Structure 1
């Protein structure tokens, strides 16, 4: 049995970034750039007006200008202004040759084709002009490797004409839910059965972090059927998650089934609560996590080990660090030698430990928004002591 930190160090050293794929820009939201991305053009690609107003050549000694042109956005004609002349111009329209300044229309007094600037001291040469290359120069890095692609990022990349982006491809994930006692939602329970909650919660967590290719399996606690399911999942997925059947009971066949499938053990059993009988393994580049069957253990182990591994696979950085250090709102007494992950809620910059910490008990998840980590050397914490918090 190993410590929490040892288990995380093993996974951190084992998981490598996923395959790099060039995807259409519209398909890259929330993914991670796998390479530095450079601009192929200057933006703006021409000097243009930042306002609806009048384009002029700035001269300190001029008081009036004559309007000779009208320039609209998208107008492909190359206008040119002579000295003392002005062009009626609209936002985004190319600045005509011979001009260098735009005066907003609300600061212009117009009589016929003549204009005069109101409060000329507010302006100077270059006012209200977006100059060529002001945003981006050709060859400039506009997105660094490791950056997450947001809607704003997509706008930036589109503005320089990039239609395809190299990203770390999310893994394909298979979920295997084991247990003879499980019943699917929508069906009535018979005596001795419980509803399958682990399948839906794992599916939701995977979707939340951007995993779209998910295979779902169910397996009875029977060695041959379970082995067939494990083998099939490994054929389809990069990462396989199992729930249940990983302890040492008479009907726990998962560990043997993984060995038969050629999965090499990375670790088995962690000095933590909940979720002590956690198995992590590898087959080639494939990852396998066998989680305990208790629902709170599944959620704990997913958030502490599976989620950081998947995010690291997808190119995210610092996936293993706590979200926050916050003061406790209530005291804790603990058992040294085990790390405890407690269901908790953040309120007013404090972390509140919730009732219902048993591994079978999901009621606290109705309000919880994080886990609070009590380290294995800790026996007691007081109100106001800082504690590591993992948000989900």
Structure 2
């Protein structure tokens, strides 16, 4: 099953991403405008540089008043941010519930159609606000570890060269457990060819990658981060239940690294063979086995469980992944990648992109859970 960006965008499939120099064109289904890309600035410190890390110079701008309010609170009154976010969600939930109640009360009356339309518009409005709240919660999590997300790519490419500095590798890895960091580093090696113990010469060696291929690498790594966080929470739960009479039965082994290589078509934006499935395997009440470490635990997942953990649980989270990725790599006005130029960069910069994307996916799941405690999200 093909992966696709379908949030009002042409669809494309995740293609094979080999390591090293990446030159082969891919059939992505996007319409490219072959006009030369207008590059704006350098990440290395040009006096005209617009690739600035700081404040809220992030690719995606809040599109609702509530989102802009929270961005201001985060900058000016950080200690009040979480309270303000919860306050916005509570107001949204009340407004949506009120519109739904009026719709139900009007059933059978002449105004039923009108109130149904109003309730639908209110839900659309609330969805936009919730996506902004989730985005600001993610940005708040990045700020907690002292990392600013990479700005829009077009601001950071100069004469076809892209470099991201400082790399912030340690900070981006610090959000994961020791076992999860091992899995993240394996993911890095699989999709980029960067080893954890690479020396300086190897890390700063020049490689080339197409803009669209880098976009796909980032999106796949966001999903991997989401999966890893979801699976880690399941693992922690099972470890906590070790002394109880509950046991997850044996599953067919499917290598997780194989699933999240970009050659695989198993993981998709909201697509699976059984999108509503929530099965986690056979449940038995026999002797409980000691929980395995995280890596071996994940190797025991069947395909259905991998899909369940990797697929964003809510429509809002899915939309946010798509909007953010398009904002990071696409044209500022259209959101489309109008030029698929070859970008020269280093393995160190590619590593930064992957680590940031994995962190984004992990923070996305946390934000989704936080929002869902106050405002019931739409099931994906």
Richer in helix (by share): 2
Mark yes or no: TM-score above 0.5. Answer: no
TM-score (norm 2): 0.23
Richer in strand (by share): 1
TM-score (norm 1): 0.23
Pick the structure with greater CA Rg. Answer: 1
